[in-house]
Chain A
Amino acid sequence: MKEILEIKCLSRRFGGLQAVNKCEFSVRAHSITGLVGPNGAGKSTLFNLVSGFVRPDSGEIRFAGERIDTLSAHSVARLGLRRTFQIPRELKQMTVLENLLLVPENQFGDRIVSVLSQGKRVREEEGKNLQIARGVLEMVGLSEKATHQAALLSGGQKKLLELARCLMAKPKLLLLDEPTAGVNPTLIRHLMSVLRRVNESGVTLLIIEHNMTVIMELCERVIVMDRGQVIAAGSPSAIQSNKQVLEAYLGGVSA
């Protein structure tokens, strides 16, 4: 399987606004692909469509060859396609660790019958998941915050938590919506190396990003959207000199 994600003629309208307009592109398996475009171009909406949170009006989405455009969000996630949210959705009243422990699938302790059991199996399972969670926190650099309430994290740390939550699940394809927004510059360098490592472990990344350094250094291919449409796709350097792309950015709302 060369293409892990294939999008064909995908459209979605909100009232009078054509947020996504006959989008067409694909993402190569094991690649890091960038998705750029001015604010309001429809990038986040595209993520919502792919991850099953918003239904397309028309078009096709294939993940690893299978149609997923009629699946609900949880089914898409279960296939190994995970996403972060542009505005972090941390569970504020829980600790950072609890946010991650929510993730593992098919936990015995996550079923009501487990309450009637002796609890040994649940403790073992929790212990195992706790180790995984600590490893993930170590990886993204949030270890020190493990037992903090998620509400107390800074904006950048919340973005890291979003990423950590996805990594807990060992996804096949990861959609990251502006992972570096609000993250401080030193942490961005760290984050980039994390993303590279994640990618090397076999995870395909599709990243919405405004930070051009991140795009240039990480992505092998960039897709450019404007007003709901894909207007260009290619290598980062080719995209940077593309006239249409420059126009979109200069003409669009502050990018």
Chain B
Amino acid sequence: MIDYAVSILIFACIYGLVALGLNIQWGLTGLINLGQVAFFAVGAYTFALLSKIGMPFPVGVLVATLTGGGFGAAVAMFTPRLREDYLAIVTLGFSEFVRLILLNEKWLAGGPDGIAGIQRPMTIAGFGSEVSFLIIVVVTLAIAFAFTRRIEGFPIGRTLRAIREDETVVSSVGKVTLAYKTRAFMLGAALAGLGGAFFASYLSYISPDMFGPNVSIYVLAAVLIGRQGSSVATLASTALVALLLEGTRILKDYVTFVDGVELAALRLMLLGIALIAIVAVRYGPRRAV
């Protein structure tokens, strides 16, 4: 039971990193990204491959983060003007593209078999492997959180929010909106890459089927439930989504009137209902401008 709670917390922190990234892109800057899983996968595989050649944990994490950001920059550059409609298509397409490459290019990433034996960080003296990992990921999340909070509060955050509201205004005051948007997208992808590194390390085995569109949807849900552009709300709602998705698994032991398959369906229904309710309240007609 405790082990299970630790594991949920670890996943929540990992998804928290990915969601914080999406929050910079979508929440703060208004850049829609339907394929955040792509950068998550890039980070995970980068870490896994580096782990295979014996790179130490911190190096792997750093390079995975940078690679995620690099891919983010590439996607940003291939999306004309980073316009919303193009972005939606490009990001969705790119995430499937990444997954198919990982699935089919055996020489690169093991194909459908994935990569096993990925390293964990060293355990912290006095703690077990799981708890050590939890501590490391919590610290990482805290640093990422402090970073994104600062972005929100600094003039740069104001410019990004202004771009979300009305790009024309930002151009009219002499700012190069495309440069800001590219950077925001890159940062968000880098955070997804960081999350991916922890994901690969924690599971010590990854395969392409772990990087389906549902991952993108879950983090989208987290950012949507949270208040747009707020890191605090993003993390809170990531925890909520993780709880709804994972926590309800625990119910299996207590709820006996439905079987496991039904419960699995119920969990997703619960998430769906929660989303609809929140969207109806938050983005209802009263708030429409």
Contact = CB atoms under 8 A, between A and B. Distances in A.
A78 B172 CA distance: 9
A77 B171 CA distance: 8
Interface residues of A, number: 36
Interface string B174-187: 11110000010001
Most A-side CB within 10 Å, residue of B150, B159, B166, B173? B173
B172 A83 contact: yes
B289 interface: yes
A105 B174 contact: yes
Interface string A89-110: 1011110001001110101011
A174 to B, nearest CB: 12
Contacts of B172: 51, 53, 73-74, 77, 82-83, 85, 89
Most A-side CB within 10 Å, residue of B150, B171, B174? B174
Nearest to B148: A115
A72 interface: yes
Contacts of B161: 91, 93-94
Given A77-B171, A102-B173, A151-B289, A107 B155 contact: yes
B174 to A, nearest CB: 4
Nearest to A110: B155
A107 B174 CA distance: 12
A202 B278 CA distance: 53
A112 interface: yes
B39 to A, nearest CB: 18
A102 B162 contact: yes
A101 B158 contact: yes
Contacts of B175: 74, 110
A125 to B, nearest CB: 8
A92 B158 CA distance: 13
A103 B170 CA distance: 8
B158 A89 contact: no
Contacts of B104: none
A114 interface: yes
A77 B154 contact: no
Given A74-B176, A94-B161, A111 B171 contact: no
Given A109-B154, A114-B156, A92 B165 contact: yes
B176 A110 contact: no
Contact of A103 (B165, B173, B177, B289): B173
B232 interface: no
Interface string B15-56: 000000000000000000000000000000000000000000
Nearest to B151: A115
Given A112-B183, A112-B187, A151-B289, A94 B158 contact: yes
A92 B289 contact: yes
Contact of B177 (A74, A83, A107): A74
Interface string B187-227: 10000000000000000000000000000000000000000
B277 interface: no
B147 interface: yes
Interface in B114-168: 147, 150-151, 154-156, 158-159, 161-162, 165-166, 168
A91 B173 CA distance: 13
Given A74-B176, A74-B177, A91 B155 contact: no
Contacts of A78: 174
A73 B174 CA distance: 7
B147 A115 contact: yes
A89 B155 contact: no
Contacts of B150: 115, 119
B169 interface: yes
A169 B289 contact: no
A122 interface: yes
A72 B179 CA distance: 14
25 contacts: A53-B171, A72-B171, A73-B168, A73-B171, A74-B171, A77-B173, A82-B172, A82-B173, A85-B172, A89-B172, A91-B165, A92-B165, A93-B165, A94-B161, A94-B165, A109-B156, A110-B156, A110-B175, A112-B156, A112-B187, A115-B154, A115-B156, A119-B154, A122-B154, A169-B173
Query: Which 4 A-B residue pairings sit nearest by Cβ, starting from the closest?
Result: A109-B155, A77-B174, A73-B171, A78-B174
Given A73-B171, A119-B150, 18 more contacts: A51-B172, A73-B172, A74-B176, A77-B174, A89-B166, A89-B168, A94-B161, A102-B158, A102-B159, A105-B174, A109-B156, A112-B156, A112-B187, A114-B154, A114-B156, A119-B154, A151-B289, A165-B169
